[in-house]
Amino acid sequence: MGRDPESVQLVAVSKTVPVERLREAVAAGQRQFGENYLQEAQPKIVALGPDLRWHFIGHLQSKKAKAVVELFHLIHSVDRLRLAQALEAAAARRGKIQDILIQVMMSPEDTKSGAPPAEVPTLLKEIAQMSHLRVRGLMTMPPWLPPEEVRPYFRALRELRDQLRAQGVLPADAVELSMGMTADFEVAVQEGATLIRVGTAIFGARPQGVKPLKPED
């Protein structure tokens, strides 16, 4: 498929996984972890020390901006202006440049979070005025469908990124595409993913009742 392996990074999604098992993954060489729930992530991040890279991949409430900015290197789920403003304020107070992705809702029938593609340019132009947020690219979570049926959503996210970069709405270096999970990461890589978010394939099935697609509120 012509992808340089270096151009795809594996984010190990460790929600519901106890810290002892994360230690095993660290010992095996894994350095990047994704968490959906702030309260669950906090003690793990503290326990595992400063050498890891943490990704916030869940739905994010503005009131949690401060804590998330303190703990996470990349926030994948920025999808509205008010949240961006809260993150900007938190990052400014902390003197940090916060890396973020814009979460895009690629399927209209979807009720999950994410900005509709048509609203992404406006959101990006607002964020471009904020001096403590650095947009690294786009993220999406397609509907639950067989891998070949999610391919068009992944492709559409790549095309949106390319179009926004060509228009100068996305910075030239904002190349990241966070897409693909256990069921469909191979298709996502074929369509240009630079960050894949894989939980089950690494840590096994999560306890029942913990739904991957309905993060905290």
Q: Interface residues for ligand PLP in 121-150 (CB under 6 A)?
A: 141
Q: Are 130 and 99 in contact (CB under 8 A)?
A: no
Q: In the set 12, 13, 164, 179, which binds ligand PLP (CB under 6 A)?
A: 13
Question: Does position 212 bind ligand PLP by CB under 6 A?
Answer: yes
Task: Indicate the residue whose CB is closest to ligand PLP.
Answer: 199
Beta strands in the chain (DSSP E): 9-13, 32-35, 53-56, 74-78, 98-104, 133-140, 176-178, 195-198
- Give me the residue label for tokens 């959906």: 36
- Amino acid in position 49: G
Question: Does position 200 bind ligand PLP by CB under 6 A?
Answer: yes
- Count of CB atoms within 10 A of residue 149's CB? 13
In the complex with ligand PLP, the residue whose CB is nearer, 34 or 130, is: 34
Choose the stretch contacting ligand PLP; rule: CB under 6 A; options: 37-45, 128-136, 153-161, 199-207: 199-207
Question: Does position 210 bind ligand PLP by CB under 6 A?
Answer: no
Residue 34 three-state SS: strand
Binding site residues, ligand PLP, CB under 6 A: 13, 15, 36, 57, 141, 181-183, 197-201, 212, 215
